[in-house]
Amino acid sequence: MIPETRQKTRVVASVVASLLTSALVTLGAAGVSAGAAASSGKVQTVHYWYWEDDPAVPTVPDLISKFNATHPGIHVVGQLVPFNSYQQKLTDAVAAGDAPDAARFKDWWLGEYAHKHLLVSLTPDIHKWTFASDVVSKYWDTGRTSPTSPVYMLPDEYITFYLYYRKDWFAAAHLSPPRTFSQFVTDAKKLTDPARHRYGFAMRGGGGGQDQWYAFLAAGGARLVNRHGQVVANSPKAIAVNQWYIDLVRKYHVAPPTAVSDSYPQLIADFEAGETAMMAHHIGSYTILKDALGNKLGVVPMPQANPSHPGTMGTMTGNVIFRSSPVQQAAWTFISWLSSPYAINILDHSPNAELPILKSVVDEPYFQKNPFWKVALDEEKYAHDWPPLPGVAAVSGHVWERTMDQALLGQITSRQMMDTIAATLKGK
């Protein structure tokens, strides 16, 4: 994803001063452990695993280089792992006793790893961290397994799902972008013309499609767990909303025939090529889509079954430290630096950007005045995160994709799919 030159120019003047100031503050706050190691003549090596949404843009390697240049007592060695294989490779490494010291992490996996006592509690260090009070308050819960548990994952980037749409398609058809489920189906049907290889909606039935699905589930008023933390993924409401989602393919035929296996690359390619009119994703796709489509690209919040009770999916990407690490304090110095204003500004102005986790960064005009960012930030108020249950890792890893494929092919019912997901969430 290549950012537009004009965006970079506007950002530089407004951000350089704050970056320099934040750098000085951050280095001062993080320099205690690094300085101690340097004075002892020993350099501590931190092995860090990560993925990049767009590996062609080396955002994380650049951040690692900046950290290493300013922390002489710590040397971070980064290892890029493709996201599609990240969960399995991390699981295999842990089982083999070869886990990294720290790793980029999803809230999907938190319940399983914390339940197995594989992660370091970050709470003691967070209490002493300079920027703890700047983190958006609700984001701390994405790193916990319960309201009273320690924080195991330090927040770094957040996303909410919204709806991209092709303004040119909608204008030509004299349609307004959808705000409700019923309008979404109506628009998608009117914009679908299989003879011209045009479809109303880019459904992601393949790998990683669980976030898109969960966003529609939440927008439909369904939940995976209730307010008491009890699994309700197979409630009548959830089964009905899931059936509505399945019907987009099986009944309304508004998605391409390849929807059952389509993953992110296919979604982006079809949307850019003019084969789909709407795509549910997040701010991470903004730069590449804007670069390809320009003023043809529009965005609205997720359509809702009941707009007076909105919902969408929210998910956190953070960083964890493994209990097996012999350099836990050095690892903390690094991951806390990654969530500092200096690093967050670099990360969230990059093509691999997601939503800032710091209040001071969220308030910047760059994020508040761009409608694509503003819609995503506004949705944060009603976004539903993945619950921190051990079974979420299995759902996101393989259960959702397998059962969704079966449902889209008519091999199982919506009830059977949701029964399986509910059982998995319960650890059965």
Number of domains the chain contains: 2
Are residue 243 and residue 99 in the same domain, yes or no?
no
Q: Could you report how far apart the first and last alpha carbons of the chain are, in Å?
A: 40
Mean pLDDT of the chain: 90
Least confident stretch, 35-44, 80-89, 386-395: 35-44
Are residue 346 and residue 407 in the same domain, yes or no?
no
- For 179, the domain range is 160-313+388-425
Residue 159's pLDDT band, with cuts at 50, 70 and 90, is: very high
Are residue 111 and residue 15 in the same domain, yes or no?
yes
Are residue 402 and residue 421 in the same domain, yes or no?
yes
pLDDT at residue 27, as a whole number = 39
Rounded percentage of the chain residues whose pLDDT exceeds 90: 83
**How far, in Å, CA of 132 to CA of 340, rounded?**
9
Residue 279's pLDDT band, with cuts at 50, 70 and 90, is: very high
Are residue 350 and residue 397 in the same domain, yes or no?
no
Are residue 9 and residue 150 in the same domain, yes or no?
yes
**How far, in Å, CA of 296 to CA of 170, rounded?**
10
Residue 350's pLDDT band, with cuts at 50, 70 and 90, is: confident
Are residue 349 and residue 418 in the same domain, yes or no?
no
- Report residue 122 CA to chain centroid gap: 21
Are residue 362 and residue 372 in the same domain, yes or no?
yes
Are residue 82 and residue 118 in the same domain, yes or no?
yes
CA distances from 111 to 64, 92, 118, 137, 194 (A): 28, 17, 11, 20, 43
Short-list 222, 245, 392, 248, CA closest to 312: 222
> Which residues on adjacent β-strands are paired with residue 105?
318
Are residue 219 and residue 103 in the same domain, yes or no?
no
Are residue 306 and residue 339 in the same domain, yes or no?
no
If one compares 338 and 10, the residue with the highest pLDDT of the two is 338
Return the CATH number at 168.
3.40.190.10
